[in-house]
Homo-oligomer: A and B are copies of this chain.
Amino acid sequence: MNDVDRGAFRAIAAECPGFQARATARAITRYHNACFRPLGLTAEQFSLMVGIGAAEGATLVELALSAGVDTTTLSRNIQTLEKRSWVKAEGGRGRSGKRLSLTASGRHLLSEALPVWRHAQATLSQRLGDNQLQLLRRAMAELAVAVEPLAPNTLEDAGQPLP
């Protein structure tokens, strides 16, 4: 019976996409963190700043939505970027929203980070193949989209009682 559990556990560990998604995200984040470390930048900070640069003047809520991150998480992450004077945030609490943009020093930092990212990206492409990497990225995006409607709020609707 112990052996049955053991087998069941092994099967789940081997099949769970959530576990694998977290492990993969950790691994690639460690890699990018190491790449950006000389610049004093983390992988997530780089992603956020790129997101802001791609849509200057977007609000915090809009960025949170496009990044698939909770607004309270983003609020704090933006605060650390503001402390370092890489990002400017205009407007505070209230209905008009907080508009985000890069500062001059933020742009300068990104201009140094871009070649680092490209080098990391080229290394990955070389390892996995460009096609494989593209396909994987799209498949991950599809999973994120597929799982979104199942998220916390909308979950009670889809829920059957469960045995």
Residue of B nearest to A21 (CB): B25
B147 touches A17 (CB 8 A): no
User: Among B26, B68, B119, B160, which residue has its beta carbon within 8 angstroms of that of A26?
Assistant: B68
Residue of B nearest to A156 (CB): B34
B140 touches A128 (CB 8 A): no
Let me know if A141 is at the binding interface, CB within 8 A.
yes
* Distance A21 CA – B47 CA, assembled complex (angstroms): 12
**A97-109, CB under 8 A of B: which get 1 and which 0?**
0000000000100
Number of interface residues of A (CB under 8 A): 74
Query: Which residue numbers of A lie inside 8 Å of B, CB to CB?
Result: 5-6, 8-10, 12-13, 15-35, 43-44, 47, 50-51, 53-56, 67-69, 107, 110, 114-117, 119, 121, 123-124, 127-128, 132-133, 135-137, 139-144, 146-148, 150-152, 155, 158, 160, 162-163
- In order of increasing CB-CB distance, the 3 nearest A-B pairs are A25-B25, A9-B54, A9-B53
